[in-house]
Structure 1
Amino acid sequence: MRKLEKRWIVLALAIAVLASGVGWQLWSKKNDAPEYKTAKIEKGAITAAVSASGTLSPVVSVQVGSQVSGQLREVLVDFNSEVKQGQLIARIDPQTFEYKVRQAQADLEAARAQELMQQSSLAAQRAQAAQVAVNAANARRDLERKQQLMDKGFISGAERDTVLATYGALAEQVNAANAQVKVAEASARSAAAAIKQREAALAQAKIDLERTAIRAPVNGIVIKRSVEAGQTVAASLQAPELFIIAENLTDMRVDTAIDESEIGRIRNGQNATFTVDAFPGRSFEGSVKQIRKSAQNVSNVVTYMVEVSAPNPTRELLPGMTANVRIVTDKRENVLKVPNAALRFRPSGAQTAVAGGQSSSRQEVQNEGGQQGGQVAALRERMEKELQLSSEQKDKLDAIFAGMRDKRAAARDAAPEERRKIMERNRAEQREQINEILTPEQKKKFEAEFDSVLAEGSRRSGVSAPGRIYVLDENRKPRELQIRTGLSDGRMTEVMGPDIGEGMEVIVGIAQPQAESSSGSTGQRPPGPRMF
């Protein structure tokens, strides 16, 4: 009986061990399948915007300087003083300039006296020339009479020759007298010109004297004062800055730099909001007033200055404040939208591994960061590093980006509908050109890692682009759906497709990590990739 009992005990233990193994296998298989996080497709409005930072400044601010050098005798205004156009705000010691005015007046009087002398000399020369001309005329008549008498034989030829010599001498005297008259006339004109010079010098001296009184050029408020009474200002090369006057602090502006990848979406009149650190939690309204076409290149990042209006009726906003600007570029109502994480999610086996063990969360951060300033530069740097481009490939890639920059600039002034087509065509051409310079291995990495960045740029611009999302089928397995993406606000993206609808759940990440399958496991599961 004991042997039989032992056999039953051994058999029971074997059955228990077998059941335990089967249970473990079933539990492992069940837990091998990851659990997914899902989100519902929503329906509503979506707004695309461009964010940047800028500086508040008055619409019109005038720098007041001095056109003359000297010591400031008095400063009549201070910071925040309201001034009227023409109001005296400072004065330079005028003593030196008063003496210059007196000297110029004296020089003018001397020039006028010199002109009188020259006029008198001219009159004397003209009288002398007239006397010589009369004498010459008498000698000519005497010569004519002597010639008649000689012809009749009443006088000799020698007597006629004496009269002829006298007439010749007087004729030369007439020429000399006329020359002296011309000299006297020139001297008189020179004296008259000297008077004009002295008058101009006197006028200049008076103007310099008036400039010692610094007056406000416009109505406004003094927002900066750079001098004190007793300070010496020098205006040798350029006018020194004394004050800055803001014409109207109730009407201000924000000058903000927009990246070249975003400037194509900015248009005059677009609504904008901005915040300042001085008033946390408050938002101020404005609109785009001007897009300056002069580019700024800093560290190979090209930006364009955009002027945003900033009404300031209560004068709470002050010049120099840093403003965080959000410009609304497009808005859609009543559209289907999903979280961006759903567009980036790829189930295991459907996505090429990231080079160098880069995590999905890091890739997501870089994709999102590519939407900010320097997107093109950041994309080029990533491609160079992760695709291990050769020198020749780097040069060709730079040429591709440079060509796309010109095409983006050409599309900037197109109508919105036409601009979207142009931008979509440009991005497709860009992807094709990049693929042509890559090796087969590099192409796979590019399609897995960087093509989504270009597609994200299309979504943020409102250009329809192909995409895909994953839903759970009846077996709780991911099933791919092909869609078209539209406008994006950086968090949610508009989606279109015949197989999607409001309330449908899409996969946005993995909730439960996969079980450890290797022997010697501690029983704790390694963390899975973060997909959002």
Structure 2
Amino acid sequence: MKKLLLGIAGLWAAGALGFWYWADARTSRVTYRTIAVRRGDLRTTINATGTIEPEEVVDVGAQVAGMIESFGADPADPGKPVSYGTRVEQGTVLARLDSSLFKARVEQAKGRVARDEADILQAKAKLAQAERDYERSRKLHARGNGVIAPQEYDAAVSTYEVAKAALVVAEGALLVSRADLQEATVNLGYTTIKSPVKGVILDRRINIGQTVVASLNAPSLFLIAKDLSRMQIWSSVNETDIGSIREGQAVHFTVGAFPHDRFEGKVTQIRLNASMSQNVVTYTVVVSFDNVGGKLMPYLTARLQFEVESRKDVPVVPNAALRWQPRAENVVPEERPNLASYTRRNRARPAGKDAEPREDSAAEADRKPVLWARDGDYVRPVPVELGLTDGTSTEIRGGNVKDGMEIVTGATRAESATDAISILPHTWTEKK
């Protein structure tokens, strides 16, 4: 009987020892995914889209009506007419209208000027004759004794006054005819349409033979960009982000035409005339940039990143390290009683806000963000303070975090030779 009891006890001890080895083997077969704390630069941004526009464009119109007779010559190649993309100088001829009617009006005005000049000569001659008659009559009238009848004297005076008035009228008519000649000459000049500025033709909106009708609004014939070495982006920024935009703010942007190139600019204007579309309010923000090489063309769509805040050479960790939470049996034994205080979701402070994280409730007020550092087969909590985040990585402030420290971002452990339990950044997921 004694031998039987000893045998049973031995079997029980062997089974307990085997179970302990099995449980210990399960616990020890945990593989942690870690990443080293590094120093780097962080930048928080606001994303938006916009359209590249020239800083200054001139809409060239016609001030008189007429048919397009011809285009001017390209300054770079006189054998070619000006067209889209032609670089023009100030005064370059862009187009000519049919000037036949305007030339005829100039000739008519010249004829009226000549006629009025002749009328002035005639009026001066009549005035001179009337003045001589008046002088003779005045001298005879002054002698008295009835040498000249009063009626004759009055007629001489009247004739003289009328002659002076006729000269004034003739001189006024000459002024009007000369003004008409000047107007006709100016209108004739308007039949030759010239570039008012130095720039590049973005758009030509007419063809030879087309009739231009000038009315209250001058018809647009050419659109000229004054200077393509300086350009702008008109971007639409959501009302929730506009508070973080300021003049002089740095902006990075890309365009689809050059997907591998990154361009830079600065905010130069925040326009207050907001627009609403489908209950979404947006503001137009103007971003200026240098385009000295002429690489970027007008009206390209740009994807912008407004730099809200930045940090240089600070300790950073991926946000996955802040989200991962271990199971109790993976934590060093002395920290297991405090595990509940570390299970809140770690929060990085939003861009442009104070470093204090917001709490979900008063009960969480004493809970701190924590990273998990590997300690043998276990992990050890490292309380930290969080700084800036760009959505992928977060700045670490304070705590005992050092450059190169291995921080756990996830773990997996084998459950059997053919099965495993995966410890994801958020929770454990058992394979069944």
State the TM-score, normalized to the length of structure 1: 0.56
Aligned to 2:357: 466
SS of match in other structure, 1:235: coil
Verify the 8 A CA contact 2:44 2:310 in the aligned structure 1: yes
The answer to whether the 8 Å contact 2:102/2:187 transfers is yes
In structure 1, the residue matched to 2:69 is 73
Which whole-Å CA distance do the structure 2 matches of 1:320 and 1:311 have between them? 14
Shift in CA distance, 333/132, structure 1 to aligned 2, threshold 3 Å: same
Q: Summarize the alignment of residues 40-59 of structure 1 with structure 2, pairs less than 5 Å apart.
A: 42-59=38-55
What whole-Å deviation, never above 9, does each CA across 1:351-391 have from its counterpart, x for those lacking one? xxxxxxxxxxxxxxxxxxxxxxxxxxxxxxxxxxxxxxxxx
Cα deviation code 1:280-318 (max 9, x no counterpart)? 2222x33216214433222351313222214251x3322
Shift of the 280–121 alpha-carbon distance from structure 1 to 2, 3 Å rule, reads: same
Task: Report the 3-state secondary structure (helix = DSSP H, G, I; strand = E; otherwise coil) of the residue aligned with 1:273.
Answer: strand
Does the 8 Å contact 2:389/2:395 carry over to 1?
yes
Matches of 1:114 and 1:483, distance apart in 2: 99
Instruction: Provide closer, same or farther for how the CA distance between residues 127 and 41 of structure 1 changes in structure 2, counting only shifts above 3 A.
Output: same
The correspondence for 1:489, drawn from 362, 385, 390, is 390
> Per-residue deviation at 1:77?
1.6
**Judging changes above 3 Å, is the alpha-carbon distance between structure 1 residues 277 and 293 closer, same or farther for their aligned structure 2 residues?**
closer
Structure 1: give runs of 5+ residues left out of the alignment.
1-11, 13-18, 143-162, 349-447, 516-522, 525-532
Equivalent in the alignment of 2:310: 331
Q: Which residue of the partner structure matches residue 142 of structure 2?
A: 137
Correspondence 1:311 to 2:212: no
Distance 2:380 2:409 in 1: 8
Deviation track 1:29-61 (CA, whole Å, cap 9, x = no partner) reads: x99xxx999876543221233332222233333
State the shift of 1:200 in Å. 1.4
C-alpha spacing 1:36/1:173, structure 2 compared with 1 (3 Å)? farther
Q: Measure the CA separation in 1 of the matches of 2:156 and 2:187.
A: 46
Residue identity in the other structure for 1:305: V
Q: What's the secondary structure of 2:235's corresponding residue? A: strand
Q: Which amino acid aligns with 2:192?
A: A
Describe the shift of the 1:235–1:490 C-alpha distance in structure 2 as closer, same or farther (beyond 3 A).
Answer: farther
* Distance in 2, Cα, partners of 1:346 & 1:198: 96
Distance (whole Å) between structure 2 residues aligned to residue 201 and residue 482 of structure 1: 87
Inter-partner Cα distance in structure 2 for 1:179 and 1:39? 116
Contact 2:201 2:225 in 1 (8 A): yes
* 2:3 is aligned with 1:103: no
2:175 is aligned, of 161, 176, 196, to 196
**Which structure shows the higher strand fraction?**
2
Q: What CA distance in whole angstroms lies between the structure 1 residues aligned with 2:266 and 2:47? A: 13
Alignment of 1:231-380 (within 5 A): 231-283=210-262, 285-288=263-266, 290-299=268-277, 300-313=280-293, 315-340=294-319
CA distance in 1, matches of 2:115, 2:85: 50
Change (3 A) 1:477 1:82: closer
Superposed CA deviations along residues 255-284 of structure 1, whole A, max 9, x for unmatched, are 32334444454455554332221222222x
Residue type at the aligned position of 2:286: V
Work out the CA distance in 2 between the residues paired with 1:203 and 1:223.
Answer: 34
Aligned counterpart, 1:371: none
Mapped contact 1:259–1:304 kept (Cα < 8 A):
no
Go from structure 1 to structure 2 and tell me whether the alpha carbon gap of 1:97 and 1:345 turns closer, same or farther (over 3 Å shift).
farther
After TM superposition, give the deviation of residue 337 of structure 1 in Å.
3.3
Matches within 5 A, 1:211-250: 211-250=190-229
Q: % of aligned pairs identical?
A: 28
Shift in alpha-carbon separation, 1:98–1:41, aligned structure 2, 3 A? same
- Structure 2 residue identity aligned to 1:213: T
Q: Which whole-Å deviations, capped at 9, do the CAs of 1:391-438 have from their partners, x for residues lacking one?
A: xxxxxxxxxxxxxxxxxxxxxxxxxxxxxxxxxxxxxxxxxxxxxxxx
2:124 matched to 1:119?
A: yes
Task: Name the aligned partner's letter for residue 103 of structure 1.
Answer: Q
Query: Per the alignment, in what secondary structure is the counterpart of residue 54 of structure 1?
Result: strand
CA distance in 1, matches of 2:134, 2:326: 118
- d(CA) in 2 for partners of 1:112 and 1:484? 92
CA distance in 2, matches of 1:297, 1:465: 35
Structure 1's 303 and 189: CA in aligned 2 closer, same or farther, altered over 3 A?
same
Q: What secondary structure sits across from 1:331 in the alignment?
A: strand
CA distance in 1: counterparts of 2:233 and 2:297, whole angstroms: 11
Task: Supply the RMSD in Å over aligned alpha carbons.
Answer: 4.3
2:68 & 2:43 partners in 1: Cα distance?
56
Q: Following the alignment from structure 1 to structure 2, what is the Cα–Cα distance between the partners of residues 42 and 205?
A: 79
Of 88, 91, 96, which aligns to 2:96?
Answer: 91
8 Å CA contact retained: 1:255, 1:307: yes
Amino acid at match of 2:351: R
Closer, same or farther in 2 for the Cα pair 1:504/1:185, shift >3 Å? Answer: farther
- Cα distance in 2 between the residues matched to 1:103 and 1:339: 85
Distance of 1:67 and 1:41 partners within structure 2: 70
Report deviation, 1:73: 0.9
Aligned equivalents of 2:191, 2:399: Cα separation in 1: 79
* Paired letter, 2:273: A
Give the aligned residue type for 1:58. Answer: P
| Conserved? CA contact 1:52–1:256, under 8 Å | yes
Q: Cα–Cα, structure 1 residues 229 and 493, in superposed 2: closer, same or farther, change >3 Å?
A: same
Contact 1:258–1:306 (8 Å) recurs in 2: no
Give the drift of 1:197. Answer: 1.6
Whether the 8 Å CA contact 1:466–1:483 is kept in 2: the answer is: no
For the 8 Å contact 1:222–1:246, the answer to whether it is kept is yes
CA distance in 1, matches of 2:166, 2:321: 97
**1:61–1:244 Cα contact (<8 Å) kept:** yes
